[in-house]
Amino acid sequence: MDIQVEKIELAKRLLDTDDEAVIQELKNVFDAHEKDFWNDLPAHVKEGIERSRKQAEQGLLTPHDEVMKKYAKYL
């Protein structure tokens, strides 16, 4: 696959369409790839995620089925 050929073909298709839904979907795809949600997270959330990652690396996890058994009565 030649990436430049693919880009040209997509550009042609975009220019040929009048379907606003298709254009909006393409905009959404580009927007989703441009944003890094990490930068929008508050510091306390980032810290919690990092703490969780470290716990996972250390094997300090509780398997999903154990958690579900414990809290099934609340669901």
Query: Can you give the pTM of this predicted structure?
Result: 0.45
What pLDDT, on the 0 to 100 scale, is given for residue 8? Answer: 94
Q: What is the pLDDT of residues 8-51, one digit of tens each?
A: 999 999 999 999 999 999 999 988 887 778 888 999 999 999 99
CA dist 59 to 12, 51, 71, Å?
51, 12, 21
| Encoded tokens for 71 | 């809290």
CB-CB neighbours of 41 under 10 Å: 13
Q: Determine the Cα–Cα distance for residues 35 and 27; give it in Å rounded to an integer.
A: 12
